[in-house]
Amino acid sequence: MKTNRRDFLKTSGLACIGMAGPAVVRGYAAPIDERLINTSFQHFNMSGYAAPKIETVRIGFIGLGNRGPAAVERMIHIGGTDIKALCDLRPEKAAAAKQLLKDTTHNADIYTGKEDEWKKLCDRKDIDLVYIATPWSLHTPMAVYAMNQGKHVCVEVPAAKTLEECWQLVETSEKTKKHCIILENCCYDFFELLTLNMARQGLFGEIVHGEGAYIHTLLEGNFSKDKYYNSWRLKENFRNGNLYPTHGLGPVAQAMDINRGDKMDFLVAVSGNDFQMAAMANELAAKDDFYKPFAGKKFRGNMNTTTIRTNKGRTIMLQHDVTSPNVYSRIHKISGTKGSCLKYPLPGKIAFGHEGWVTEEEFKNLESKYTAPIVNKVGEMAKQVGGHGGMDFLMDWRTIDCLRNGLPVDMDVYDAALWSSIAPLSEKSVANRSNSIDIPDFTAGSWKTNRPVDISLSTGGTTEVKI
């Protein structure tokens, strides 16, 4: 990159502020990231940006292991699309995805067998959107390369692993004016959209607190020999923090208008001990040489709890536990001065006082009045196509509809960077005895004037759904 925020700060002299030495907190010394001192430089504000309309969105998919094939299959049901290319390192995975296109109008080329085949896909001139569903470490490199080749990108969660990668996404999207859309499907779940619309209409009053989580038992899957290529996800668990924050955080951030009227200021993260993963690694290694590289390793703690404070004094609590035998939960709690909602345990509940949750009849009346127009338009069809109950399809349909009709996307690059940054920032806090860590302002101050996303009120365009 020829110019980035770091270069700007150095040449302007602002980087010298506080750079005489490292920051010292309770005996912990850490180098200062100059972009935390001043982030007033912005190439172009991508918030609210409407890219030129694309009548037919030509798509290339990278990563066809776990989530990729389902995305390919969903896209077949969305009008105004043309699947041009499929890429996976493993030939059998690419071939299986190609079979999904049988008896459709899509005729995709396959890229497989070599580590850098995905670049050939991105280099093509006849692709508008690159859809990335690979291991986490490849998300940012692929997204950055694709944007630099003139492509919009959809990237699975988390969009980035490091703070540096978060900035790379922001700077590249701003310079290329290409969308970097984080594939946070939970923002399109039906209760989350209902309560977002209610929050926007003021039914909860002023939002004061939110909670989200990813509590999902993945112990056996992480130690599976074939579920994750080259055991990539098991290796991610050597990091200690909230490694997967976006599912719970995304809907809460939208309800609080984060990046669009408020911003996150700092976080504090606490991790407990690892009570299961190291023991399982050692037990498996004693019986099977495959697991010997994981024996004796230090894994993340079972539960991580991260607390965030915003500029307006709101708080957010996030939790991450994918080891303990818990019932699945994303929590999804929104608390305001006039009411609150809570989704887990299921079904979701709404309250307007301490007396208790509204009755089933009252809930149905609220649902009838405040269901998001986009759900009224394509929600039932989304449930038929599927993908976590329909929210995956609703996410994909909305993405294509925005690109086809020149609409601003619901989740822009600042959301991708901010939500993903919680993972590395929580790691820093845990490593620093749970001291507070500042959260960068990826919008360079434009959060003060950016307008909220309109997903809860939008009916979308005219993109066809093919059942």
**H, E, C per residue of 63-132:** CCCCCHHHHHHHHCCECCEEEEEEEECCHHHHHHHHHCCCCCCCCCEEEECCCCHHHHHHHCCCCCEEEE
Structure tokens at 39: 């982030």
pTM above 0.85, yes or no: yes
Closest CA to 429 of 306, 345, 317, 252: 306
- Can you tell me the distance from the alpha carbon of 412 to that of 179, in angstroms, rounded to the nearest whole number? 7
- Can you tell me the distance from the alpha carbon of 18 to that of 21, in angstroms, rounded to the nearest whole number? 7
Mean pLDDT of 29-38: 42
Domain residues of the chain, as ranges? Answer: 5-37, 186-373+413-448
**pLDDT at residue 40, rounded to an integer:** 57
| Predicted confidence (pLDDT) per residue in 305-332, tens digit | 999 999 999 999 999 999 999 999 999 9
Whether the Cβ atoms of residue 132 and residue 138 lie closer than 8 Å to each other:
yes
pLDDT surpassing 90 at residue 20: no
pLDDT surpassing 70 at residue 35: no
pLDDT surpassing 90 at residue 153: yes
| Predicted confidence (pLDDT) per residue in 324-374, tens digit | 999 999 999 999 999 999 999 999 999 999 999 999 999 999 999 999 999
**pLDDT at residue 29, rounded to an integer:** 36
One DSSP character per residue, 222-277 reads HT-SSSSGGGHHHHHTTS-S-S--HHHHHHHHHHTTBTTTB-EEEEEEEE---SSH
**3: helix, strand or coil:** coil
State the pLDDT confidence band at 5, using cuts at 50, 70 and 90.
low
State the pLDDT confidence band at 273, using cuts at 50, 70 and 90.
very high
**pLDDT at residue 454, rounded to an integer:** 76
Question: The dihedral of CA 90, 96, 100, 106: what is its sign?
Answer: positive
**pLDDT at residue 458, rounded to an integer:** 72
pLDDT surpassing 60 at residue 418: yes
One DSSP character per residue, 354-386 reads TT-BPPHHHHHHHHHHHS-HHHHHHHHHHHHH-
**pLDDT at residue 456, rounded to an integer:** 67
pLDDT surpassing 90 at residue 385: yes
% of the chain exceeding 90 in pLDDT:
88
| Predicted confidence (pLDDT) per residue in 162-203, tens digit | 999 999 999 999 999 999 999 999 999 999 999 999 999 999
Mean pLDDT of 426-453: 96
What's the topology of domain 186-373+413-448?
Answer: Dihydrodipicolinate Reductase; domain 2 (3.30.360)
| Predicted confidence (pLDDT) per residue in 112-132, tens digit | 999 999 999 999 999 999 999
**pLDDT at residue 467, rounded to an integer:** 84
**pLDDT at residue 123, rounded to an integer:** 98
Q: Bigger pLDDT: 414 or 456? A: 414
Give residue 166's identity as a one-letter amino acid code. Answer: C
State the pLDDT confidence band at 77, using cuts at 50, 70 and 90.
very high
State the pLDDT confidence band at 224, using cuts at 50, 70 and 90.
very high
State the pLDDT confidence band at 4, using cuts at 50, 70 and 90.
low
The per-residue pLDDT of the chain, averaged, comes to: 92
Closest CA to 48 of 361, 447, 425: 447
